[in-house]
Amino acid sequence: MSRNIGQRCCNHCGHDVVLVGQVYTASPDRMGVYAHHYQGRAFCDAECPACLAQYIAWDANKLPIEGSETHSDLSYRHSFNDEPDERDLPRYTVERRWMRTGVWGADPTDKHQRAYMRFEMPKRA
């Protein structure tokens, strides 16, 4: 079991996470018994805007600043682990829909036709 997820994007839907809240340092109320291992590092709460999974963004060398992309790793917010607590789980399921774009009647073997991914979020109640 490790503390970090090992990536910068959402572990559930692959969407880029955004930093929310203020930068803080390691403390026992947030990191539990592991706080002393992470002294001197800066942390910031993060959230996936697509599925609303909750994370802690952190970087060993830089301070994550609200609204920037300076974090290098994520952990789940409430468990401070690579396995989520129930409160860290996504609130929505994100469907990925692939759609082919290109010129009508174009050669289907043409490698220049592109596919893109679109995320659709359900409306909040």
Across residues 2-31, what is the average pLDDT? 84
Please tell me which residue, 11 or 71, carries the higher pLDDT value: 11
Q: How many residues does the chain have?
A: 125
Average pLDDT of the segment spanning 118-123: 51
Nearest CA to 9 out of 68, 59, 71, 81 is that of 71
pLDDT at 119 over 50: no
Q: Report, as an integer, the average pLDDT of 78-87.
A: 89
Task: Enter the pTM of the model.
Answer: 0.68
The yes-or-no verdict on residue 26 having pLDDT over 60 is yes
